[in-house]
Amino acid sequence: DQQVKQNSPSLSVQEGRISILNCDYTNSMFDYFLWYKKYPAEGPTFLISISSIKDKNEDGRFTVFLNKSAKHLSLHIVPSQPGDSAVYFCAASADSSNTGKLIFGQGTTLQVKP
Amino acid sequence: GAGVSQSPRYKVAKRGQDVALRCDPISGHVSLFWYQQALGQGPEFLTYFQNEAQLDKSGLPSDRFFAERPEGSVSTLKIQRTQQEDSAVYLCASSLLDREETQYFGPGTRLLVL
């Protein structure tokens, strides 16, 4: 069963506008959430994370929001730039795993048009 | 200041052949993870090492998959008697010990089994 879901396979936005990528999870034991970005033929690159004790974390143009009651998180990119075009993965981990292993969603391909 | 490196970058194997995939983590990183990424999917956890100890191998899909990290640095993922369903990108990631430390990914090895 898919514990982390990204229901939108793709998203297209205009340069300068906001990009909103969404992620849902089912496992209530998840307490740490991350977003990774991936370009073709490269490994995923860490973008931003959030602990379950927070509901928002901001880093420059990137903000992650966590709604624990809805088991939902989102990544906001403002303003979007053409270089942001990539596949974005949401990931989660549970303290109970004792390893830090990440459970990933299927990914959302973001295209930012100039 | 090198990142995580993996070799080979591409591997074509005939069904039934054994393959070995290498990962060189970031120097000093205690934790090492292997993930498998099928086409169009997010990475899926395979196994975890803390130094030379393999603490979690719950994600290995069958006993044909074997991983080692004998000196707590370089790791090798071996797949015996490869099958077509083993075709995927194999990603290695390393991090400092703490669970919330960023996992840094290598570029992956793309395995194609014919």
- What the block records as the tokens of B52 is 């030379």
Higher pLDDT, A98 or B16: B16
Q: Is A45 on the interface with B (CB under 8 A)?
A: yes
Regions of chain A with pLDDT less than 50 = none
Q: Is B31 on the interface with A (CB under 8 A)?
A: yes
Q: How far is A48 from chain B (nearest CA, A)?
A: 9
Chain A residue at shortest CA distance from B3: A43
In this predicted structure, the answer to whether residue B100 has a pLDDT above a threshold of 90 is no
Average pLDDT over residues B35-43: 95
Q: What is the per-residue pLDDT for B1? A: 55
Chain A residue at shortest CA distance from B42: A106
Q: Which positions ≥6 away from A10 have C-beta within 8 Å?
A: A108, A109, A110, A111
Average pLDDT over residues B63-77: 96
**Polymer length of chain B:** 114
Average pLDDT of chain B, as a whole number: 95
CA distance B37 to B35: 7
Q: Is A62 on the interface with B (CB under 8 A)?
A: no
In this predicted structure, the answer to whether residue B101 has a pLDDT above a threshold of 80 is no
Average pLDDT over residues B54-60: 94
